[in-house]
Structure 1
Amino acid sequence: MKKVNLGNTGIEVSKLCFGSLTMTPFQANLTIKEGAYLIEYAYNKGINFIDTAEIYENYKYIKEALKNINREDYHIATKTYAYTKELAQESLELALNELGTDYIDVFLLHEQESIHTVKGHFEAIEYFLRQKEKGKIRAIGISTHKVAGAQAVREVKELEIIHPIINKYGIGIQDGTVEDMLRELEIIHNMGKGIYGMKPLGGGHLIKDVENAFNFVKDIPYIDSIAIGMQSIDEIDANIYLLENGFIPEDLKANLRTKKRKLIIADYCLGCGNCVKRCNQNGIEIIDGVATPNENCILCGYCAKVCPEFCIKVI
């Protein structure tokens, strides 16, 4: 698989990044052995880049996989909500210990909203910069669902990498359009900063249009790598085929269609009711203050487009 430089960081990663949230107890709930096998399988197919986060609680999956992976050729990106030196230190020590590694390739501040939240987390950034000097971190940055988050990366020189949400219809971008996000990302790329996108399938809502959706992101010249969730051998093979050929073979598509998918609602749902109003199938309702899908749901994904918190996913 083609390897690319992640901006000017000197970190050479595969064009596909293994999105590891989908294997966790929050979604597929794979065993550590099952999850580690998928990570190893993907690595042997050329995927040498994995995205995780402290909140995913899946470091042990990666640690197990690293027993059979060349660490020097494998790149780990993780994320934290830390905003003080003490919390940043706890996050780094947890990652190093639970992953069983001496360094983290990419450490991100999780879900940053704007220059204001970045400034509010600057004590953590300063700590990470000191740890970078010691060789415990190779690069730092942020993940974001907002155009204003991308603008913060443009303004803050210390941030080297951005992990933004980007997909054909801008599903999950909370403060603008996909065109708005792309304008910022092109500027960031031209500054020499690394970009690896998230949610190319809009949290699973674009699965029915998977080839067009994936190719849209793949063809953006200033995105270095694409993180996409993978929870089976078939999904890994399909994503590799998409990257290298632009389509999925019919036999592999048939295998993927047999997977029974479902709509899940994250626990941070506000119960605003936008999804209920948008659904023409009466497939979702507010129960005890939380959006809850029912037997009428057809997994069309229209509800996700109006969710202000992007808490509706298809797995």
Structure 2
Amino acid sequence: MQYRFLGQQGLRVSALGFGCMGISIAYGSSDEKEGIETIRHAYDLGVNFFDTAELYGNGHNEQVLGKAVKDIRNQVVIATKFGFDMTTESIGSSFNSHPDNIRKVAENSLRYLQTDYIDVFYQHIPDPNVPIEEVAGAVGELIQQGKVKYFGLSNAGPETIRRAHAVTPVSVLQSEYSIFERELEERNILSLLKELGIGLVPYAPLGRGFLTESVKPAEEYPEGDMRRWDERWQGSNFTYNMNAVQQLKELAASKNITVAQLSLAWLLAQNENVVPIPGTRSKQRLEENVGASNIVLSEEDLVRIAGILPHGSAGSRYPAGMLENFTRD
């Protein structure tokens, strides 16, 4: 496993992290024992960067991660997130990044994770009701208290990033980014991160599973799987995207790697401060993903990929109403 620095604040992590969300939510029923075993296997393979959030099962995902790494806490980097009102009937539908809630979430996360510090504490999504300066200030206080080491933002736009960074240095931005999803390029966020010395953690780096060997139409996924309503799995979008993935598979096959490995290697080739966090419940898929950390793509490979998907996939990653929250600035 290769290691990288995320930004300029000294945060050193494995070149590939592990996104824990799917262990608890979004991809059908889950198994806690299997999740713990997969996290431990990731660590055995050299992964030391694990990502979770209060939103993922209302603390359940944090508890699973806490159990998995309790005896190796000082050897791993844990990132979690705040930003929602978890007391509402529809969890995740109401934002809450008020400083008092940030402090409350931090205490809950410390307890769930069975630790006395959080390595990276992200605002999960910008809160339209709380100035980002107040958010950055509250996390800055937690850093001064030793409860948090690094401040991160997630799903934030350029202006939000600048304003937050002016109050408390932002070490990491987490946003969806992959061969399929290129919004960060369109909004010039990648150049801003380079300017400010901020690392990038792409979530859904495999296009929520589309950039793998096993893809099927939306209606064939079980209830509770978010791919049932993802536009990229619908109608003509699905046809277009499948055609693109087939071309990527042909390129991958010519290099004796999988399309998932090709996709992760593409991300790693974008910048040395980029650390994708693919998630999986499968040990076999995990081993495949980790193998991508040692793959080097040529300039010719990158040009060919750009020709196959110059602007990303067909179809939006979220429904219009939800997407507004992710593009707010």
TM-score, structure 1 normalization: 0.70
Whether contact under 8 Å (2:136, 2:164) holds in the other structure is no
Q: Residue type matched to 2:274 in 1?
A: D
Residues 200, 118 of structure 1: alpha-carbon distance in 2 compared, 3 angstrom cutoff: farther
What residue is the counterpart of 1:194 in the other structure? Answer: 199
Q: Residue type matched to 2:141 in 1?
A: R
What residue is the counterpart of 2:126 in the other structure? Answer: 112
Aligned with 2:78 (options 76, 85, 92): 76
Residues 53, 150 of structure 1: alpha-carbon distance in 2 compared, 3 angstrom cutoff: farther
Whether contact under 8 Å (2:5, 2:273) holds in the other structure is no
Q: Residue type matched to 2:265 in 1?
A: N
SS at 1:217's partner residue? helix
> 1:112 deviation in Å?
2.7
SS at 2:29's partner residue? coil
**How far apart are the structure 2 equivalents of 1:170 and 1:212?**
15
Aligned with 1:235 (options 259, 276, 285): 285
Residues 140, 83 of structure 1: alpha-carbon distance in 2 compared, 3 angstrom cutoff: same
What residue is the counterpart of 1:185 in the other structure? Answer: 190
Please list, as runs of the form range in 1=range in 2, the aligned pairs for 1:272-291 lying within 5 A after superposition. none
TM-score, structure 2 normalization: 0.67
Aligned with 1:225 (options 275, 279, 283): 275
Structure with greater proportional strand content? 1
What residue is the counterpart of 2:107 in the other structure? Answer: 93
> 1:29 deviation in Å?
3.5
**How far apart are the structure 2 equivalents of 1:150 and 1:33?**
40
What residue is the counterpart of 1:152 in the other structure? Answer: 160
What residue is the counterpart of 1:252 in the other structure? Answer: none
> 1:219 deviation in Å?
1.0
Please list, as runs of the form range in 1=range in 2, the aligned pairs for 1:1-315 lying within 5 A after superposition. 1-57=1-57, 58-69=61-72, 71-81=73-83, 82-112=96-126, 117=128, 120-144=131-155, 149-157=157-165, 158=168, 159-170=170-181, 173=183, 178-181=184-187, 183-208=188-213, 209=245, 210-245=260-295, 302-304=314-316, 307-308=319-320, 309=322
> 1:164 deviation in Å?
1.7
Q: Number of paired residues?
A: 245
**How far apart are the structure 2 equivalents of 1:79 and 1:118?**
18
Q: Residue type matched to 1:229 in 2?
A: G
Name which structure has the greater RCO, CA cutoff 8 Å, separation 6+.
2
Root-mean-square deviation (CA), in Å?
A: 2.6
Structure with greater proportional helix content? 2
> 1:168 deviation in Å?
1.4
**How far apart are the structure 2 equivalents of 1:213 and 1:47?**
18
Q: Residue type matched to 2:76 in 1?
A: Y
Deviations 1:212-253 (A, max 9, x none): 433321210144311111211011101011222369xxxxxx
**How far apart are the structure 2 equivalents of 1:90 and 1:155?**
24
SS at 2:79's partner residue? strand
SS at 1:229's partner residue? coil
Deviations 1:25-76 (A, max 9, x none): 443433322211111110111000011110003111111112342x222111
